[in-house]
Structure 1
Amino acid sequence: MRVIIREAMVVDPRSPYNGQVVDIFVEDGKIAKIGKGLQLREAETAAKTAPEITEIKTEGLHVSPGWVDIFVQFHDPGGERKETLKTGTDAAAAGGFTEVLAVPNTDPAVQNKGQVEYIAKSSKDLKARVHPIGAVSRNIEGKELAEMYDMHASGAKAFGDGWKPLQSAGLLLKALQYVKGIDGTVIQVPDDTTIGTHGLMHEGIVSTRMGLPGKSVLAEEVMVDRDLKLLEYTQSSIHFTGVTSEKSIEAIHAQKNATCSVTPHHLYFCDEDLEGYDTNLKVNPPLRDRKTMMALRQAVIDGKIDIITSHHLPQDWDHKVCEFEYAKNGAIGLESAFGVVWSLLEGDISLGRWVEMASIKPREVFHLEKAELKEHAPANLTLFVPGETYEFKESDIKSKSRNSPFTGKQLKGRVKGTILHDQLNLL
Structure 2
Amino acid sequence: MSIAPDELLDGLGRVMACAGLTAPSDLVRLTGGATMESWRFECGDDAFVLRRAPSLEFMKDRPFGHDVEAAVIRAAGAAGVAAPEVVVELEPDDGIGSGFVMRALPGTPNPKDILNMDEPDRLLSECAANLARIHSLGRDDVPQAVPVMDYRAVIADLKRQFEEAGGDRPIIALGLKWMEDNCPEANEPVLNHGDFRMGNLLAQDGWLTGVLDWELAHFGDYHEDLAFGCMAVWRFARYDRPALGLGDLETYFDAYEANGGRKVDRKRFRYWLIHRTVWWALGCLKMAAIWRSGEDRMLERVVISRRTSEQELDLLMLLEEDAPEQERSRLVQSPSAAPQVGEATDGELAIAIHEWLGTVKDRFEGHDRFQYAVARNALGMISRYDATAIPAFENAPLARQAMSGEATLADTGLLTQLREAILATIMQDVPKYPALAIARKKWTGKE
The TM tier, using the shorter chain, reads under 0.3
Q: Which has the higher contact order (CA 8 A, sep 6+)?
A: 1
| The structure with more helix, counted as a fraction of residues | 2
**Normalised TM-score (structure 1):** 0.27
**TM-score w.r.t. length of structure 2:** 0.26
Question: In proportion to residue count, which structure has more strand?
Answer: 1
